[in-house]
């Protein structure tokens, strides 16, 4: 029994000694460089493997992305033209999806075109010339008048000058003709 008491006292004494030693000396965290190097190499291997899979999948999808972008570009062109047609002919000739939405109808599968009330003259001119090709300026003025756009010859000439990138003008024996640039 004495032996047990002595062992117990010795154990307590060693604990106190180790605790006091630990207090005196700070144990710093040791960086194991080889472990870090190995982890970095493993991370690099995993990233390269994932990148190869990613690039392979991107290459598979690329034709679809190109087709989507082409369709999106074509849709924007057609939406712009449809908007200009609606604005030139007037809203009365087309279904008003705003009213249908307010009435609670499902218009999610409808083509919705947002129009501006104050579109510039040159857009009306462009819309008309897309359908007619070349027109004499006076005929363009009469066509716009037919669609309710009262414009002066001077306003048309001003629009032609301001949008030279869109319109092409040709003078033939004192008559001025306008068409869209190709």
**Assessment of whether the complete model's pTM goes beyond 0.75:** no
| Cα–Cα distance for residue pair 182/168, rounded to 1 Å | 9
Q: What is the pLDDT of residue 14?
A: 55
| Cα–Cα distance for residue pair 49/114, rounded to 1 Å | 47
- 82, 113 contact by CB (below 8 A): yes
- 178, 129 contact by CB (below 8 A): yes
pLDDT digits (tens, 9 = 90+) for 94-132: 777 777 777 877 766 677 676 766 789 999 999 999 999
Q: Which of 116, 115, 124 lies closest to 150, judged by CA?
A: 124
pLDDT, mean of residues 176-181: 94
Q: Is the pLDDT of residue 182 over 90?
A: no
**Structure tokens, 73:** 């570009």
Q: Which domains does the chain have, with CATH numbers?
A: 33-115 (no CATH), 120-180 (1.10.10.10)
Q: Which of 141, 129, 147 lies closest to 90, judged by CA?
A: 147
Backbone Cα Rg of the chain: 40
């Amino acid at each position: 029994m004495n032996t047990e008491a002595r062992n117990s006292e010795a154990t307590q004494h060693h604990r106190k000694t180790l605790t006091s030693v630990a207090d005196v000396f700070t144990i710093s965290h040791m960086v194991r460089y080889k472990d870090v190097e190995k982890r970095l190499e493993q991370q690099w291997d995993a990233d390269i493997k994932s990148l190869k899979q990613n690039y392979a999948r991107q290459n598979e999808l690329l034709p679809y992305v190109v087709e989507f972008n082409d369709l999106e570009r074509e849709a924007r062109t057609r939406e712009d033209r449809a908007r200009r047609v609606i604005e030139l002919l007037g809203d009365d000739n087309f279904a008003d999806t705003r009213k249908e939405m307010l009435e609670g109808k499902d218009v999610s599968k409808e083509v919705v075109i947002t129009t501006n009330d104050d579109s510039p003259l040159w857009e009306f001119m462009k819309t008309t010339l897309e359908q007619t090709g070349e027109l004499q300026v006076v005929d363009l003025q009469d066509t716009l008048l037919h669609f309710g756009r009262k414009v002066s010859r001077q306003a048309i000439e001003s629009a032609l000058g301001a949008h030279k990138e869109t319109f092409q003008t040709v003078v033939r024996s004192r008559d001025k003709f306008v068409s869209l640039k190709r």
